[in-house]
Amino acid sequence: MRKIIPVAMLLVVMFLFTSVFAQSTSTSVGVPSAGQHAFELVGRIDQQLFNTTAFGYVTYINGVPAEDLFGENAPAMMRGEADARITFFGTGISTSRSIYENIFQAVLPVELTFYYSETPAGASFDNPDLFKSGTPIATFNLRMQTILNVQEPNVGVLMGSGESTQNLAEAFTL
């Protein structure tokens, strides 16, 4: 019995140490204080009639060093979609649209999925499907109002604002 107790106690100590160690290294991020941003992103919205596709990458998450969001060799002042470790992609259908001369307003409900890649997938705004590479880590329902001021064919200034609800968050390691 003496030999079994020390082994059992060692296992209990190892289990407790592992539990405490795991808890001390887990960190919630993207949960800011009131008045601060949770995250920031760069993206593109493509509309074909009422169909919407939104895609891009994350440039800031509250509590995460910016360099952790991009590949190792991405220069701080030259980071782009090809260097991003967290990207997003989503689709939706416009629920309303108003037009006044060259001003187009639309309401866009979109479900966005965010993806994590340990090594950047080389996303490109020329190939939207590349933004769906990696492991899904979060989903959001987004309702956005966009106002497009058309300057000339295929050229305009876009402003958007909206609200989002996070539906899913998966733990991952940066």
pLDDT band at 25 (very low <50, low <70, confident <90, very high): low
On whether the CB atoms of residues 56 and 87 are closer than 8 A, the answer is yes
Residue 8 pLDDT more than 50? no
Higher-scoring residue by pLDDT: 26, 98: 98
Q: Stretch 127-150: mean pLDDT, rounded? A: 95
Higher-scoring residue by pLDDT: 139, 10: 139
Residue 151 pLDDT more than 80? yes
Residue 154 pLDDT more than 90? no
Distance CA 113, CA 126 (A): 19
The domain limits of the chain are: 29-169
Q: Stretch 107-132: mean pLDDT, rounded? A: 95
pLDDT band at 6 (very low <50, low <70, confident <90, very high): very low
Q: What is the helix (H) or strand (E) element at residue 15, kind and residue range?
A: helix 4-25
